[in-house]
Amino acid sequence: MHIPENYLSPSTCAVFDVAMIPLWGYAVKKVRETVPREKMPLVGIAAAFCFLSMMFNIPLPGGTTGHAVCGTLIAILFGPWTACLAVSIALIIQAVFFGDGGILAIGANCFNMAFALPMAGYAVYRVISSRIEGRTGELVGAGVGSYLGLNVAALLTAIEFGIQPMLFTDAAGAALYCPYPLSVAVPAMMLGHLTVAGLAEVVFTVGILAFLRSAVPSFGIEAPSSGEKIAPAVALVAALVIASPLGLLATGDAWGEWGLEDLAEMVGFEPAGLATGWEWSSFMPDYSVGALPEAAGYIVSAIIGVALLVIIFRLAAGTLKPAVDFD
Amino acid sequence: MPGHGDIPGWLAKPQSFEPIHDRSAFATRSALSVTAVLRQLRLDDGRPSRFSASAPVKLALALGAIILNSLATNLMVTLVLLAFVLVRAALLPRRALARFAAVAASAAMLAALLALPAALIGQSASAIRLGLKALVSTGLAMEVALTTPAAELTGGLRAFRVPNLAITTIDLALKNIVLLGDCALETLTALTLRSVGRDADKSASLGGVAGTLLVRASRAAADTYDAMRCRGFEGDYDREAQVRLGADDAVWIAAFALFATMFLHLEDII
Amino acid sequence: MAHTHPAEALHTPHEGAVSETPLISLDDYCFAYDDTPVLRHVALEVRAGECVVLMGDNGSGKSTLLKAICGLVFPQRGAYRFDGSEVSERSMRDASFAKRLHARVGFIFQDSDAQLFCPSVADEIAFGPRQMGLSEAEVSRRVDDTLALLDIEALRDRAPWTLSGGEKKRVAIACVLSMNPDAYCFDEPLAGLDSKTQTWLTGFLKRLKAAGKTLVIATHDQSLADELADWFCYMGEFHGYEDRPHVHING
Chain B touched by C141 (CB under 8 Å): yes
Q: Which fold has domain C6-10+23-249?
A: Rossmann fold (3.40.50)
Q: Closest-CA residue in chain B for A305?
A: B83
Q: Which of residues 39-78 of B touch C (CB under 8 A)?
A: none
What backbone phi and psi angles, to 5 degrees, belong to A22? -65, -30
Q: Closest-CA residue in chain B for A306?
A: B87
The DSSP-derived string for B13-52 is SPP-----S--TTHHHHHHHHHHHHHHHT--S-----TTP
- Confidence (pLDDT) at A59: 86
Q: Is the pLDDT of residue A310 over 90?
A: yes
Q: Over chain B, what is the mean pLDDT?
A: 83
Best interface-test mutation with B: which of A300, A319, A320 has the largest number of B CBs within 10 A? Answer: A300
Q: Is the pLDDT of residue A273 over 50?
A: yes
Chain C touched by B187 (CB under 8 Å): yes
Task: Test A308 with B86 for CB contact under 8 angstroms.
Answer: yes
pLDDT cut 70: percent of chain A above it: 96
Helix (H) or strand (E) holding A59: strand A58-59
Nearest by CB to residue A314, choosing from B82, B87, B97, is B97
Amino acid at C166: G
Using an 8 Å CB-CB cutoff, list chain C residues near B7: 149, 207, 210-211
| Cα B61 from chain centroid (whole Å) | 20
Sorted by where each begins, the domain ranges of chain A are: 10-319
Sorted by where each begins, the domain ranges of chain C are: 6-10+23-249
- Of A228, A22, C20, C134, the C-alpha closest to B18 is C134
Q: How far is C208 from chain B (nearest CA, A)?
A: 8
C-alpha distances (whole Å) from A246 to each of A57, A243, A292, A298, C204 are 8, 6, 17, 10, 83
What backbone phi and psi angles, to 5 degrees, belong to C135? -65, 155
Please state, as a whole number, how many other Cβ atoms lie within 10 Å of the Cβ of residue C176.
Answer: 25
- Of A210, A201, A225, the C-alpha closest to A42 is A225
Task: Test C117 with B15 for CB contact under 8 angstroms.
Answer: no
What backbone phi and psi angles, to 5 degrees, belong to C22? -70, 145
Task: Test A322 with C40 for CB contact under 8 angstroms.
Answer: no
Q: Is ipTM beyond 0.90? A: no
Distance, CA of A193 to CA of B85 (rounded, Å): 37
Level-2 CATH architecture, domain A10-319 = Orthogonal Bundle (1.10)
Best interface-test mutation with B: which of C89, C127, C164, C177 has the largest number of B CBs within 10 A? Answer: C127
- State the chains in contact with B (3 or more Cβ–Cβ pairs under 8 Å): A, C
Interface of A with B (CB under 8 A): 281, 283-284, 289-292, 297, 300, 303-304, 307-308, 310-311, 314-315, 317-318
Amino acid at B183: C
Task: Test C37 with A324 for CB contact under 8 angstroms.
Answer: yes
Distance, CA of B268 to CA of B71 (rounded, Å): 13
Q: Which of residues 161-190 of C touch B (CB under 8 A)?
A: 161, 175-177, 179-182
Which residues are within 8 A (CB) of A81 and not within 5 positions of it... i.e. 6 or more apart?
A26, A27, A30, A31, A34
Which residues are within 8 A (CB) of A141 and not within 5 positions of it... i.e. 6 or more apart?
A76, A124, A125, A126, A127, A128, A129, A132
Q: Is the pLDDT of residue A99 over 80?
A: yes
Task: Test A322 with C35 for CB contact under 8 angstroms.
Answer: yes
Burial class (CB in 10 A: 0-12, 13-18, 19+), A286: middle
Chain B touched by C89 (CB under 8 Å): no
Chain C touched by A327 (CB under 8 Å): yes
Using an 8 Å CB-CB cutoff, list chain C residues near A322: 32, 35
Chain C touched by B93 (CB under 8 Å): no
What backbone phi and psi angles, to 5 degrees, belong to A54? -75, -10
- pLDDT category of residue B110 using cuts at 50, 70 and 90: very high
Beta bridge partners of B45: none
Which residues are within 8 A (CB) of C96 and not within 5 positions of it... i.e. 6 or more apart?
B18, B19, B21
Task: Test C35 with A327 for CB contact under 8 angstroms.
Answer: no
- Confidence (pLDDT) at A261: 81
The DSSP-derived string for chain C is ---SSGGGG-SSPPTT---SSEEEEEEEEEEEETTEEEEEEEEEEEETT-EEEEEE-TTSSHHHHHHHHTTSS--SEEEEEETTEE--TTGGGSHHHHHHHHHHEEEE-SSHHHH--SSSHHHHHHHHHHHTT--HHHHHHHHHHHHHHTT-GGGTTS-GGGS-HHHHHHHHHHHHHTT--SEEEEESTTTT--HHHHHHHHHHHHHHHHTT-EEEEE-S-HHHHHHH-SEEEEETT----TTSSEEEE--
Sorted by where each begins, the domain ranges of chain B are: 46-161+241-252+265-270, 162-239
Q: How far is B3 from chain C (nearest CA, A)?
A: 7
Distance, CA of A261 to CA of A267 (rounded, Å): 10
| Cα B73 from chain centroid (whole Å) | 29
Nearest by CB to residue B83, choosing from A290, A291, A300, is A300
Stretch B206-227: mean pLDDT: 83
pLDDT cut 90: percent of chain A above it: 54
Q: How far is B101 from chain A (nearest CA, A)?
A: 8
Distance, CA of C123 to CA of C130 (rounded, Å): 10
Nearest by CB to residue B128, choosing from A283, A300, A304, is A283
Q: In this structure, are residues C178 and C134 in contact, taking their beta carbons and an 8 Å threshold?
A: no
Chain C touched by B23 (CB under 8 Å): yes
Q: Is the four-CA dihedral C107, C108, C110, C112 of positive or negative sign?
A: positive
Which residues are within 8 A (CB) of A77 and not within 5 positions of it... i.e. 6 or more apart?
A42, A46, A209, A212, A219, A220, A221
Nearest by CB to residue B2, choosing from C114, C145, C175, is C145
Model confidence over B174-203: pLDDT tens digits?
A: 788 778 888 888 888 888 888 887 766 667
Stretch A16-39: mean pLDDT: 93
- Confidence (pLDDT) at A324: 75
- Confidence (pLDDT) at A247: 84
Nearest by CB to residue C30, choosing from A321, A322, A326, is A326
Burial class (CB in 10 A: 0-12, 13-18, 19+), C24: buried
Bigger pLDDT: A126 or B244? A126
Long-range Cβ pairs for the range B200-206 (8 Å, 24+):
B202/B24, B202/B27, B202/B28, B203/B27, B205/B28, B205/C117, B205/C118, B205/C127, B206/B27, B206/B28, B206/B31
Whole-model pTM? 0.79
Q: Closest-CA residue in chain B for C103?
A: B196
Bigger pLDDT: B123 or A74? A74
Please state, as a whole number, how many other Cβ atoms lie within 10 Å of the Cβ of residue A37.
Answer: 16
Q: Is the pLDDT of residue B253 over 90?
A: yes
Q: How far is C146 from chain B (nearest CA, A)?
A: 8
- Of B129, B139, B41, B138, the C-alpha closest to B86 is B139
Helix (H) or strand (E) holding A58: strand A58-59
Q: What angle do the packed helices B94-114 and B75-90 form, to 10 degrees? A: 150
Chain C touched by B199 (CB under 8 Å): yes
Using an 8 Å CB-CB cutoff, list chain B residues near A318: 94, 97-98
Q: How far is B82 from chain A (nearest CA, A)?
A: 7
Using an 8 Å CB-CB cutoff, list chain C residues near B202: none
- Of B56, B43, B78, B69, the C-alpha closest to B175 is B43
A·C CB contacts under 8 A: 19
Distance, CA of A25 to CA of A316 (rounded, Å): 15
Largest alpha-carbon pair distance within chain C? Answer: 53
Q: In this structure, are residues A149 and A72 in contact, taking their beta carbons and an 8 Å threshold?
A: yes
Q: How far is A152 from chain B (nearest CA, A)?
A: 34
- pLDDT category of residue A173 using cuts at 50, 70 and 90: confident
Distance, CA of C163 to CA of B68 (rounded, Å): 56
Q: Closest-CA residue in chain B for A293?
A: B76
Using an 8 Å CB-CB cutoff, list chain A residues near C40: 326-327
Model confidence over A129-151: pLDDT tens digits?
A: 999 888 889 999 999 999 999 99
Q: Could you list the pLDDT tens digit for every one of the 251 residues in chain C?
A: 345 676 544 433 444 444 578 899 999 999 998 778 999 999 999 999 999 999 988 888 999 999 999 999 999 989 999 999 999 999 988 888 888 999 999 999 998 888 888 889 999 999 989 888 889 999 999 999 999 999 999 999 998 888 998 999 999 999 999 999 999 999 999 988 988 999 999 999 999 999 999 999 999 888 888 889 999 999 888 887 788 888 888 76
- Confidence (pLDDT) at A161: 92
Distance, CA of B127 to CA of B130 (rounded, Å): 5
Task: Test C109 with B212 for CB contact under 8 angstroms.
Answer: no
Vertex C57 angle, CA C52 and C59, to 5°: 105
Task: Test C37 with A322 for CB contact under 8 angstroms.
Answer: no
Interface of C with A (CB under 8 A): 30, 32, 35-37, 40-41, 76-77
- Confidence (pLDDT) at B139: 95
Distance, CA of A131 to CA of C115 (rounded, Å): 70
